[in-house]
Structure 1
Amino acid sequence: MVQHKSPVSTPSPEKLDEKVRLEGGGHMEPQDVSLKYTDTNGFDDGKGSDESESDQGLPPKPKSIFETREQIPDSLAHLTTEELEKLASKTRLRMDFRILIMLCWIYICNQLDRTNIASARLGGLEDDLNLTSLQYQTAVSILFVGYTIFQVPSNIVLNRLGKPRLFISVLMTLWGGISASCAAAHSFAALAVLRVLIGVVESGFFVCCLYYLSCWYTKKELTFRNAILFSGSLLSGAFSGLLSAGIIKGMDGVAGLQPWRWCFLLEGLLTVVTVPFSYIVLPDNPSNTRFLSQMEKDIVIWKLKMDVGEYDDDEAVLQDHNNYRFALKLAVRDPKVWLIAGTVSCLVASSGVQNFYPSVVETLKYDRIKTLWLTAPPFFIAMICTWCWARHSDITQERFFHMLIPVPIAIMSFLVAMLSTKTAPRYFAMCLMPASIYSSYIICISWISHIVPRPPLKRAVSLAMMNTVANVMLIWNGFLYPRSSAPSYKIALSFNIAAECLAVIFALTLRLYLMRLNKKIAAGTMDWQKEMGADGRNINKSFRFMF
């Protein structure tokens, strides 16, 4: 997404030296002066910090850019520190209401259309179309074939187009229409073709939203906003069961249609009717939006710039290499991208249980309506947990241990569900599954924007690569949940345990690699040309990769 530069005033080193000498009453020798440079997280250049922190590749202690006022735009220069903080808070709140509510609603519709096949199964889909268990699993998994293939192209198009509201609104309206068309399927072949098309069109949404939010929010704000975005998926997981329960119970036989057809039709039409409003509500990017004042736009762009030291602009960073081939090469050759992709892939593999959640909960031996109602509480619990966990990660500016801590809880929930046949412990385990899996997942999908911050096109490609590799898992994951494996689903749940353990190995390797890179940055030996296709002359001295 192309963003234009805002005017900034950068005092010369000589003027800053003079200012420090004057403030010190003229008693400070020039060699004792240590100028501070900070990023949005407030990390200074480390000259006054403990040497052991530098040796470990850790970022120096925080100090707000509102205090240092480094490279502050001219339009904001007259404001005090308190006024800058108040303006930033007000602007962030306006962004949240304008962007997050709309994206969260679209994501609810997205997940309803993606996972309603699980509820349709309880509404007679298999019996009506004479599907075998294998054919049903294929219909679930085949969506991810189209979904994975078009991830990278979608994000490149979004970045080059620079009009996310147009891109999102058109794409998602098309996918709602295709989802509603599943109601007209009369054979396995027709259902499979429609599911592939849904995957192709849908591929442009979630990963584009991750990139879109990274163009508006700093690394200290992004994880919590990604959690709010993802709550659309969790709310959908809750409401999908409730909505489908009402449709199956109240629409059976209406207009001569089976209840599963009404599930597809009504939930698809909900998307078609509401999503086009996103074109009116969503802004494109901070530099050209009309809902913010000039000062508000400047403070957003300033904060984003000071996150790294470079503008969040492809032309400014890549210059003569501003093309998708070069950005793709940077991403493919970056070990960080593959390590975070491996971590997320394993977490996504273990989350495949969501597509079969009604079937898994059905093993508690309740009727199909109660089964759908019982799918709701685990997702409400997951939403609250992911919000709190992401917020804490943003406050502490820590990622690895926030990814790690929920893993043992997820493993325990899989073990209990696999080994116990009693209703209470089994349902308790099912309540823990989404909360633990997605608490780690939210941290990781935000982590990549912090470790691949510039240029934007490389970040867009890296996000798409991560999501592509991760969703490959869901192509074959559905085959782990045949009805013959009920009620224990031992193969699937054992696989989920192994996937969670492997995610930890990937994340630990990434942490060690980031520590190594941070030591290079501290020593001044970092190869910025290899990292972002530029010489790195504008990178903040305080910048460190977050882990």
Structure 2
Amino acid sequence: MFRRFASYLKGQESAPGETKLLRKLDAFILSFCCLCYFVNYLDRTNLNNAYVSGMREELDFKGNELNRINTIFTVGYIVGQVPSNLALTFVSPRLFFPAVMIIWGGLTMTTAAVSSPQGIMAIRFFLGLAESSTFVGTHYILGSWYTEKELGKRSGIFTASGLAGTMFGGFIQTGIHSSMDGVQGLSGWRWLFIIDGLITIPIAIYGFIVFPDTPTTTKAKYLTADEKALAVARTPESGAIKVPLNLEFLKNVFCSWYWYAFVMLWIIAGETESFSSNALLALYMQSHPTIDYSVSQLNNYPTGVPAAGIISTLFWATLTDFVGGKRYLVGYFIAVVGIVTSTLILTCFDSTTTVFASYYWAGAVYACQATFFAWCNDAMRYKDERLRSVVIASMNMGSGAVNAWWSLIFYSATDAPRFTKGMWAMIGCSIALAFWTAGITYMTVREGKEEEGDRDVRVVDLHLEEKMVTEV
């Protein structure tokens, strides 16, 4: 065990049986997490699809009520981040993930019965609470099972599944609107919520059956005893340490540079996703001064944004693994994309082709989701599990806290189609991201050198211990 762990610390070749273990982990962990995130995004983004497909008129939306509903969802999402991630260190993830899936599936179906925007507001708060565990919880789990050379690709595949939910949501709404509008006296947008909610149930059951928890707690029958031992050996010793939740733990969180650095990183990076997360292209089309787009066009054309995000996410996640975990490269790439696309929209607004191309290209900034959370997992690989879970959850919580008011100020539906304030905000965030990325790069390199020295000492100690035991 000691020798195997030492080989991982030194970055040597794979241990015997590791390839087979990875195939099993990918088959069960990634399959469930990707399906979970797919329907999570499907349920989350179907509100925007429904809004442009008849819900606005049927429920008589006024002003920026859509933005307020999204803000209320974000508040629930924020509140649930840290508690849900900490819950994964106490409750079996195999039980926790499916349970919250069933809850949010039921809430999604309940949305089909609303008769006013206020009813949606109440439901979306609790929907945000239930869905808060999926993104940050999965990144915590991926960081527990996969090594630095494997994590980026898996994080990228997971993130891409959510973007696929966003992309297919538009096609699903188009199909439902054309085939089920008026069935049983219900509008097409109401059937969207019913069908999306029903999809979650079989996926939750699948997760309950196959999800393997974490390396130190897994009871998965499809893993042999040797594979379970190998999974633990691949994990740093700190992976088995779960410090008590007390004032000392709270002090360690707020005295850690990781918390401040990565939370602020995701706050800034999260706002560079604003073009996509606030459905600006759909709102631009709906409010276009001269072109009247059909319902199918309003749902289908914006799918190019998450499509660009999927390509960008998979490309950068794979590349940063290939070049040794240089996740900071994505920060500079996103900064350039944010500045250029905003400038093009500001200066070439009269060109519909340029505006569409800019919004599509802006979808590439979704690459930061996979790589920045993988970056945090990499940097905190040798820290205790609960500290890592809190930092990961706090990243998304911090971003959500800013999103709660950021979209109201810079991307209100009443600012469509130009969103001039939002374009300037994007330029500012992109510049800030470049500087913050440089700062974290410096800190992680410095910390890495210190930890490498500590690990070398630990490996020597392990060899000496083994030698003494052999001599005795």
| In structure 2, distance between residues paired with 1:170 and 1:382 | 29
Q: Which amino acid aligns with 1:470?
A: S
Distance 1:470 1:538, change over 3 A: farther
| In structure 1, distance between residues paired with 2:248 and 2:296 | 53
Please say if residues 179 and 264 of structure 1, whose CA atoms lie closer than 8 Å, have aligned partners that are also in contact.
yes
Q: What is the aligned counterpart of 1:94 among 7, 18, 24?
A: 24
| In structure 2, distance between residues paired with 1:393 and 1:440 | 11
**Aligned twin of 2:345:** 417
Q: What is the aligned counterpart of 1:268 among 164, 174, 197?
A: 197
Q: What is the aligned counterpart of 1:223 among 131, 142, 152?
A: 152
Q: What is the aligned counterpart of 2:422 among 479, 482, 492?
A: 492
Query: How far off its partner does 1:109 sit?
Result: 0.6
Greater helix content: 2
> After superposition, what is the alpha-carbon deviation per residue over 1:111-144, rounded to whole angstroms, capped at 9, x for unaligned?
1111111011112222222221221210111101
> What secondary structure sits across from 1:516 in the alignment?
helix
Distance 1:257 1:523, change over 3 A: closer
Please say if residues 386 and 438 of structure 1, whose CA atoms lie closer than 8 Å, have aligned partners that are also in contact.
yes
| In structure 1, distance between residues paired with 2:457 and 2:118 | 56
Distance 1:172 1:385, change over 3 A: same
2:262 paired with 1:335:
no
State which drifts further: 104-113 or 246-255: 246-255
Distance 1:473 1:361, change over 3 A: farther
Q: Which runs of 5+ in 2 are unaligned?
A: 462-472
Please say if residues 151 and 465 of structure 1, whose CA atoms lie closer than 8 Å, have aligned partners that are also in contact.
yes
TM-score (norm 1): 0.77
2:433 paired with 1:511:
no
> After superposition, what is the alpha-carbon deviation per residue over 1:462-515, rounded to whole angstroms, capped at 9, x for unaligned?
111111101112212332333432222111222122122222222222122233
2:46 paired with 1:110:
no
Q: Which amino acid aligns with 2:402?
A: M
**Aligned twin of 1:297:** 228
| In structure 2, distance between residues paired with 1:203 and 1:496 | 25
Distance 1:335 1:244, change over 3 A: same
**Aligned twin of 1:132:** 62
Superposed counterparts of 1:41-120, under 5 Å: 43=10, 63-64=11-12, 66=14, 84=15, 87-120=17-50
Superposed counterparts of 1:62-461, under 5 Å: 63-64=11-12, 66=14, 84=15, 87-161=17-91, 163-287=92-216, 288=218, 289-305=220-236, 310-315=237-242, 318=243, 322-323=244-245, 325-353=247-275, 354-356=277-279, 357-362=281-286, 363=288, 365-397=292-324, 398-420=326-348, 421-435=350-364, 437-453=365-381, 454-461=383-390
> After superposition, what is the alpha-carbon deviation per residue over 1:284-308, rounded to whole angstroms, capped at 9, x for unaligned?
1234322111222222221223xxx
Aligned residue pairs total 450
> After superposition, what is the alpha-carbon deviation per residue over 1:436-471, rounded to whole angstroms, capped at 9, x for unaligned?
x11233211111111222211111111111111011
> What secondary structure sits across from 1:366 in the alignment?
coil
Query: How far off its partner does 1:313 sit?
Result: 0.7
Q: Which amino acid aligns with 1:471?
A: G
| In structure 1, distance between residues paired with 2:460 and 2:153 | 24
Q: Which amino acid aligns with 1:330?
A: N
> After superposition, what is the alpha-carbon deviation per residue over 1:82-113, rounded to whole angstroms, capped at 9, x for unaligned?
xx35x212211221111112111111110111
> What secondary structure sits across from 2:208 in the alignment?
helix
- Runs of 4+ residues over 6 Å off in structure 1: none
RMSD: 2.4
Q: Which runs of 5+ in 1 are unaligned?
A: 1-7, 12-36, 44-62, 67-83, 529-535, 542-547
| In structure 2, distance between residues paired with 1:166 and 1:494 | 45
TM-score (norm 2): 0.89
User: Percent of counterpart pairs with the same letter?
Assistant: 24
Query: How far off its partner does 1:518 sit?
Result: 4.0
> After superposition, what is the alpha-carbon deviation per residue over 1:490-543, rounded to whole angstroms, capped at 9, x for unaligned?
11222122122222222222122233334545777xxx9xxxxxxx984899xx
Query: How far off its partner does 1:9 sit?
Result: 4.7
Please say if residues 272 and 338 of structure 2, whose CA atoms lie closer than 8 Å, have aligned partners that are also in contact.
no
Please say if residues 64 and 413 of structure 2, whose CA atoms lie closer than 8 Å, have aligned partners that are also in contact.
no
Please say if residues 361 and 374 of structure 1, whose CA atoms lie closer than 8 Å, have aligned partners that are also in contact.
no
Larger-Rg structure: 1
Please say if residues 219 and 450 of structure 1, whose CA atoms lie closer than 8 Å, have aligned partners that are also in contact.
yes
Q: Which amino acid aligns with 2:283?
A: S
| In structure 2, distance between residues paired with 1:180 and 1:301 | 40
Query: How far off its partner does 1:145 sit?
Result: 0.6
Query: How far off its partner does 1:348 sit?
Result: 1.1
Query: How far off its partner does 1:390 sit?
Result: 0.6
Please say if residues 145 and 214 of structure 2, whose CA atoms lie closer than 8 Å, have aligned partners that are also in contact.
yes
> What secondary structure sits across from 1:405 in the alignment?
helix
